Amino acid sequence: MKVLGIDPGLQNTGWGVIEVDGVRLRHIANGVIRSGQGALPARLLVLFQGLSQIIADHAPDAAAVEQTFVNKDASGTLKLGQARGIALLVPAQAGLSVGEYAPNAVKKSVVGVGHAAKEQVQHMVRVQLPGVEFACADAADALAIAICHAHHLQSRAVRIKVPA
């Protein structure tokens, strides 16, 4: 099974694809979609087209997106929400199930601590995906989201197999 992780952002949307084989995880690809500056509709279109191409290129079986946190800047939060909408729409349009995870849930799944630093998350992603090279910090976050979803899917599969 291939899992696409998406770290939504209006300027930089990180993405990462991993393969899940039982408890083994393998890095497939990662990168970032840069929407540049300019009018919001054009930037959202760049994100839409970029994610559509990633799904076409890597044919994931499932996707996961980080949930938006609310910050002090209402306008910035709204724009991030629109980028996140694209990150939810594109996989759904491709027929993929989409998981959503809070940042603390991702950190807890990958590191074991919900308030881990970015460096700790990146270190543990490297441990779980040996040899991975991150395109950028946003791509590392996207891989962490994919790993979180893989762990969630694995634990759900184990619960289903346990007789009642």
Catalytic residue among 19, 57, 73, 138: 138
Query: Is 138 part of the annotated catalytic residue set?
Result: yes
Amino acid at position 65, single letter: V
What is the SS3 assignment for 36? coil
Catalytic residue among 7, 19, 61, 133: 7
C-alpha span between 55 and 96 (Å, rounded): 10
What is the SS3 assignment for 12? strand
Catalytic residue among 19, 21, 61, 66: 66
C-alpha span between 23 and 10 (Å, rounded): 33
Amino acid at position 152, single letter: H
* CB-CB neighbours of 162 under 10 Å: 6
Strand order in the sheet with 12-21: 24-34, 12-21, 2-7, 62-66, 97-101
Query: Is 7 part of the annotated catalytic residue set?
Result: yes
Distance in Å from the first CA to the final CA of the chain: 27
Residue 21 has which token pair? 């084989």
Indicate which residues carry an active-site annotation: 7, 66, 138
